[in-house]
Structure 1
Amino acid sequence: MPAPGIRKACAALAAAVTLALTATACGGTTKNSVKDDDTAARASHGKADPHAPVKKGLTVAFLPKQVNNPYFTVADQGGEQALKDLGSSFKEVGTNSATDTSGQVSYVNTLTQQRVDGIAVSAQDPGALCTALKQAMRNGIEVVTYDSDTDAGCRDVFVSQASAEALGRTEVQLLGEQLGYKGEIAILSAAQTATNQNTWIGFMKDELAKPRYKNMKLVGTAYGNDDAQQSFQQTQGLLQEHPRLAGIISPTTVGIKAAAQYLSGSRYKGKVKLTGLGTPNDMRRYVKNGTVDAFELWDPAKLGALAAHAAVALSSGRITGQRGETFRAGGLGTFTIGDKGVVDLGEPTVFDKDTIDRYKF
């Protein structure tokens, strides 16, 4: 495996060439000169040294699904503070649309040219970013995904909000309890291509197949593309299309807030149950006015902070993204990398009228 100095030299040389990236003595930087597979992307990664000194002066760029989205604003601020504490620099780039996959690819390519030390990205589409992210990795850049993953071979570590299975199943469990385990339900998701949403929905459907939910029926899934107006309209559409709808699950902070806003001002308030993933600050009024009984989430600031710590640990050589490796993430504690380079932040927290005022994010 190349030494860190050689890897940095390769990164500098590769970034100095044109955007077409011709082959160099540091190794292939074109599709024809290097196999576009996991081994090639990870070629610059040596063996982890958990006692290696933590590097300072790094630059880690955060690329959320959507800038100016309140959820990602909180998450990225957590990453920014963590990097400041670690003696490194933060930058945020991204598109204003949660579905602009080509825009995300362009930002990854630009960051690769700029020779940042790490990229933390929340992928809009599981496959669209792969080629660009692998190119970044071949140029010595550490790649962390957070909130929404890409393919496992296209990044070093995925920082997951919690176990994907736990998130999918607990949302169904929350709604089941609220409905007495009977009635028609629907899902209001973000984009159709969103990796995290689709993974959670898969576990929701699996949970619904259990005998206790035999009287609950999933009748529709709508997509609001993490846009408040579209999510509001999709909620209205679900209720018009399914007049006997008893409950909605929205595993997206934009979607659940928009759905709550619609229900709160309609004849469905208190009649159609709503749960999913939301922030306490967004949902407080709807819990207190009886529109929503309970919902769940993790602390997005901690998610961003963990992504930052993972990127610095990778850059410092403390981890490589292999199963069983551990790293310390400041006050968050020590984390162990699981299968396919996944790190779970922890269990989701349920918010209701008795607990919501304890949280301010």
Structure 2
Amino acid sequence: MSRMHRRTRYFALTAGLALTLSACSGTTQDDATSEAPAEETGAEETSAAAGGGGTEFAEGLAISMLPKSVNNPYFEASSEGAESAVTELAGEYEYTGPSDASASSQVSYINTLSQQAVDAILLSANDPNALCSALSQASDAGTAIVTFDSDVDPECRDLFVSQVEGEEVGRALIEMAAEQIDGDGQVAILSATANATNQNAWIDVIESELESNPDYAGIELVATVYGDDEDEKSFAETQGLLQAHPELEAIISPTTVGIAAAARYLQSSDYQGEVALTGLGTPNQMREFVEDGTVTEFALWDPSALGELAAYAGAALASDMITGAEGDTFTAGELGEYTVGADGVIVLGPPTRFNAENIDDFDF
């Protein structure tokens, strides 16, 4: 789905018009001046006319990141990358969102950003479909919709910036678990929310690998539970898994909140060193657990680079440099050139495995 996105906020800013603060500390466009031509406002337009084909990013773009939930180290790292990109582009950046990872909570933030007429929303979705109505309203108002980390239905956004190919993540997760239990025993999954698009896609791959790959014939998936990306609930779900399955050999947690909570539980229990834990986490949050032997190996991509790429993608859309069509290309700063794939998907790159040998080489 491609849409042309207005850059009227830039005109309003360069004209020096007063902007009204709203509930999420953003700004509201002045519709009366948004139609003014660049020569009347003194704005220096840096991309081609609507319809795509521009060669430079517009200045003064308002770009907001809306994560699954705030106070999450993973998304804070993504925000740092996005903010650096927006700053480089001389734009205005906002990081805002709910404290709980629910779709209903995200809807109100989308509505607020739509009312503010921001140029681009960078969204990690808590549900693939529940946000579509709000996103459509934002898009109709001229906002570019870029999902990252966790997607919505492709009809509800312009681009999806994927961490990696989904199958690569699922295969890496089950491979790490298998290696740590010598390919034999019971495993369980501690996921985020039941409707998280990315989590469910990776779990599907894990289940498929267990069914079809003879290397995993000795492994049994006994449970999948959900910590809702809440630390305390993830901690409790870890305890529940170990009590319900005394023969459990490994836990796979494809969420940074979940893996850290599970590691903390294992660290303080008799299961430390007895039950393997792997999944997706940041080096900084997992370093102590690797150093004391609670965790042998886990994986992730650079969330800062993911946020940076999402911000450049949103800016490219809002500047009419691309439309979101397959084959569109743009340069994301020092990250280099990226090409839009089928269904408006842009892939950052493969995941990195972290262990005692390399974890100190990373700082995020």
TM-score (norm 1): 0.87
What is the rounded CA distance, in whole Å, between the counterparts of 2:122 and 2:199 in structure 1?
A: 19
Q: Which residue of 1 aligns with 2:216?
A: 213
Distance 2:210 2:50 in 1: 44
Contact 1:46 1:320 in 2 (8 A): no
**2:79 maps to which residue?**
76
Where does residue 33 of structure 2 map in the other structure?
Answer: none
Distance 1:339 1:317 in 2: 19
1:93 and 2:96 are equivalent in the alignment:
yes
Q: Partner amino acid for 2:205? A: F
Q: What is the total number of aligned residue pairs between the two structures?
A: 324
- Mapped partners of 1:256, 1:181: distance in 2: 21
SS at match of 2:327: coil
Supply the distance in 2 between the matched residues of 1:203 and 1:130 (Cα, whole angstroms): 26
Residue 186 of structure 1: aligned partner: 188
CA distance in 2, matches of 1:46, 1:124: 32
Please say if 1:132 is aligned against 2:148: no
Are residue 151 (structure 1) and residue 153 (structure 2) matched?
yes
Instruction: Give the C-alpha shift of residue 193 in structure 1.
Output: 1.0
After superposition, the C-alpha distances for 1:144-194 in whole angstroms (9 at most, x for unaligned) are 001111110110000111111101111101111111111000000001111
Cα deviation for residue 343 of structure 1 reads 0.7
Q: CA deviation at 1:217?
A: 0.4
Q: Report matched runs for 1:205-244 at 5 Å.
A: 205-209=207-211, 210-244=213-247
**CA 1:2–1:297 in 2, change beyond 3 Å: closer, same or farther?**
closer
Tell me, yes or no, if the aligned pair for 2:5 and 2:318 is still in contact at 8 Å: no
1:342 aligns with 2:348: no
What is the CA deviation profile of residues 30-74 of structure 1, one whole-angstrom value per residue up to 9, with x for unaligned ones?
A: xxxxxxxxxxxxxxx96531x532101010111111111111111
> What one-letter code is carried by the residue in structure 1 that aligns with 2:333?
G
Secondary structure, in 3 states, of the residue corresponding to 2:173?
helix
Query: Aligned Cα RMSD in Å?
Result: 1.8
CA distance in 2, matches of 1:167, 1:310: 22
Partner amino acid, structure 2, of 1:187: I
Using a 3 Å threshold, how does the CA distance of structure 1 residues 241 and 3 change in structure 2: closer, same or farther?
Answer: closer
Q: Distance in 1 between matches of 2:65 and 2:5?
A: 23
2:171 match: 169
Structure 1 pair 4/310, CA: closer, same or farther in 2 (3 Å)? closer
Partner of 2:120: 118
Residue number in structure 2 paired with 1:331: 334
Q: Which amino acid aligns with 1:233?
A: A
Whole-Å separation in 1 of the counterparts to 2:288 and 2:145:
38
Alignment counterpart, residue 274 of structure 1, candidates 265, 270, 277: 277
The residue that corresponds to 1:25 in the other structure is: none
Deviation for aligned residue 1:257: 0.5
Contact 1:8 1:140 in 2 (8 A): no
Structure 2-normalised TM-score?
0.86
Change in 2 beyond 3 A, CA 1:285/1:4: closer
Write out the 4+ residue segments of structure 1 that deviate beyond 4 Å after TM superposition: 1-5
**Percentage of identical aligned residues:** 51
Offset of 1:353 from its aligned partner?
0.2
1:109 maps to 111
1:3 and 1:308 map into 2 onto residues whose CA distance is 17
Question: 1:257-307, CA deviations, whole angstroms, 9 ceiling, x for partnerless residues?
Answer: 111111111111111111000010111111111111100001111111111
Aligned in 2, Cα 1:104/1:347: closer, same or farther, shift over 3 Å? same
